[in-house]
Structure 1
Amino acid sequence: MQISPNKVVHIHYTLTDNDGEVLDSSQGSDPMAYIHGMGNIISGLEEALTGRKVGDRFQVSVPPEEAYGVRDNDLVQKVPKSAFHGVDEVLPGMQFHAESSEGMQLVTVIEVEGDTVMLDGNHPMAGMTLNFDVEVTGIRNATPEELDHGHVHGAGGHHEHD
């Protein structure tokens, strides 16, 4: 069976930046599972997986445009510290969800100076080339329920809670 739309795909992967630093890995845990063709993973990795079979191992370098996008300096902005109601201390590296014109957005505190906080709304991996070492460990047809929900149920995927 080949990887194609509406297949549940299980992969082991290690993600590194261009300096070889490991950013994420499934090693030591269950393989990651996703439904191919539903936009569950970055487009550059999904494209590289198309047509692959169980047992295939490969490396792919995904440019920012096919990963988390290029950095947008318009997403860096100063806000008053008073905007952080109920937060005792705002520190660089902290992340918050903020309402934007495009819905909820994750923002990262990059600097605190006096009563002003500098926020970055870019994805933490925006502007980065992402290097994946991938092994395909399983492929199966997605169930109608998984296709309806848009995600994998069970091992490596989403667990429903009653």
Structure 2
Amino acid sequence: MTKASTGDTVRINYTGRLTDGTQFDSSAGREPLQFTLGAGQVIPGLDQHLEGMETGEKSTVTIPPEAAYGPRREEAIQTIDRSGVPAELDLKVGAQLQARTADGQVMPITVVDFDDKSVKLDTNHPLAGHELVFDVELVDVVKAA
């Protein structure tokens, strides 16, 4: 069996859930997720967990917020002028929006509150502050050249 190590291309089947059992993502019904181990393409805790796993191996890992999307930060909740939000957006509390950062990354934003003058936005990742539980199966390992 082939063991996964940093730099290898890996393919995994996975289900991600919160510690209360709420599922937030899964590869079920899709192609396995493919990425380069150790390249920062997935959360650090998942990268670290897969290191040393063998092809075909299944496991469950609980990842703390610090090794996932980080802690929730109160300073990430901001109030902006209503004119800063496109008028055609149908704002609703809890609505998920996206913005681009200066370096072109897509950043998820949640509408917390709004009125005619302002909009309160939470730029924390929706999974920030949560322990995440992943059931993973290492489907394939392509060794780095």
Is TM more than 0.5 here? yes
Quick one: which of 119, 122, 128 aligns to 1:120? 122
Residue in structure 1 matched with residue 78 of structure 2 by the alignment: 77
Report the Cα offset of residue 13 of structure 1: 0.3
Residue in structure 1 matched with residue 68 of structure 2 by the alignment: 67
Residue in structure 1 matched with residue 43 of structure 2 by the alignment: 42
Report the Cα offset of residue 78 of structure 1: 0.8
TM-score, normalised relative to structure 1: 0.80
Give the Cα–Cα distance (whole angstroms) in 1 for the partners of residues 133 and 84 of structure 2.
37
- Structure 2: runs of 5+ lacking an equivalent: none
Give the Cα–Cα distance (whole angstroms) in 2 for the partners of residues 85 and 139 of structure 1.
45
Residue in structure 1 matched with residue 30 of structure 2 by the alignment: 29
Quick one: which of 104, 110, 113 aligns to 2:112? 110
SS in 1 for 2:25: strand
Aligned residues: 142
TM-score, normalised relative to structure 2: 0.89
Q: Which amino acid aligns with 2:46?
A: L
Residue in structure 2 matched with residue 97 of structure 1 by the alignment: 99
Q: Deviations over 1:23-42 (max 9, x none)?
A: 10001111101100101110
Distance 1:41 1:94, change over 3 A: closer
Q: Check whether the contact 1:98–1:107 (CA below 8 A) recurs between aligned residues.
A: no
Distance 1:88 1:46, change over 3 A: closer
Q: Check whether the contact 1:35–1:142 (CA below 8 A) recurs between aligned residues.
A: no
Give the Cα–Cα distance (whole angstroms) in 2 for the partners of residues 87 and 98 of structure 1.
18
Residue in structure 1 matched with residue 136 of structure 2 by the alignment: 134
Distance 1:99 1:40, change over 3 A: closer
Give the Cα–Cα distance (whole angstroms) in 1 for the partners of residues 89 and 13 of structure 2.
40
SS in 1 for 2:30: coil
Give the Cα–Cα distance (whole angstroms) in 2 for the partners of residues 61 and 114 of structure 1.
42
Report the Cα offset of residue 87 of structure 1: 2.5
Residue in structure 1 matched with residue 17 of structure 2 by the alignment: 16
RMSD: 1.8
Give the Cα–Cα distance (whole angstroms) in 2 for the partners of residues 99 and 45 of structure 1.
25
Give the Cα–Cα distance (whole angstroms) in 2 for the partners of residues 114 and 94 of structure 1.
19
Report the Cα offset of residue 91 of structure 1: 2.1
